[in-house]
Amino acid sequence: MTAQPATARFTLVISGAPYTSQAPQSALRFAEAVLSAGHAIERVFLYGDGVHLASSYAAPPSDEPDWPEMWAEFLQQHRIAATCCVASALRRGLLDHTEARRYQRPGVNVRSCYTVAGLGDWLEAEQAADRTLYFKDGGG
């Protein structure tokens, strides 16, 4: 009998913004490869400028890739948990329903596939994963 290879679990942290860094693009390609290889993604955590991926208001020109939309479709298709750092999101004007009510703002612009939460979610995901990879400005 042949033993099945162990499945690795990954947490991905994206801190580079779409359109100003390669981080979201590199992370998406890596995530696709991870799943294709039979591994799992525990959580995607957006931090710093990476929270711009969660914006439902991003509207790139029609001849450019829509990275926020591509990420949302990927997360929903594969049912992967995704979190935006609450401090990073608030500093950049990204609000979910809870934060919009808390700060008495009229609109919500965080896509529904993301949870806005603190670093505790990141720490939990990091502990549950075998590996954590960081995708920052410059694609690394």
Token pair 């991926």 in the structure block, residue: 53
Catalytic residue among 85, 110, 116, 125: 85
All domains of the chain in start order, with CATH: 9-57+65-135 (3.40.1260.10)
Active-site annotation holds for 85: yes
Q: What is the pLDDT of residues 1-36, one digit of tens each?
A: 555 555 899 999 999 999 999 999 999 999 999 999
* 85 burial type by CB count under 10 A (0-12 exposed, 13-18 middle, 19+ buried): buried
Q: What is the pTM of this model?
A: 0.91
Beta bridge partners of 127: none
Q: What is the pLDDT of residues 74-118, one digit of tens each?
A: 999 999 999 999 999 999 999 999 999 999 999 999 999 999 998
The number of C-alpha atoms within 13 Å of 2 and in the hemisphere containing its C-beta is 2
54 and 89 Cβ atoms separated by less than 8 Å: yes
Say how many C-beta atoms besides its own lie within 10 A of residue 127's C-beta: 10
Structure tokens at 65: 């890739």
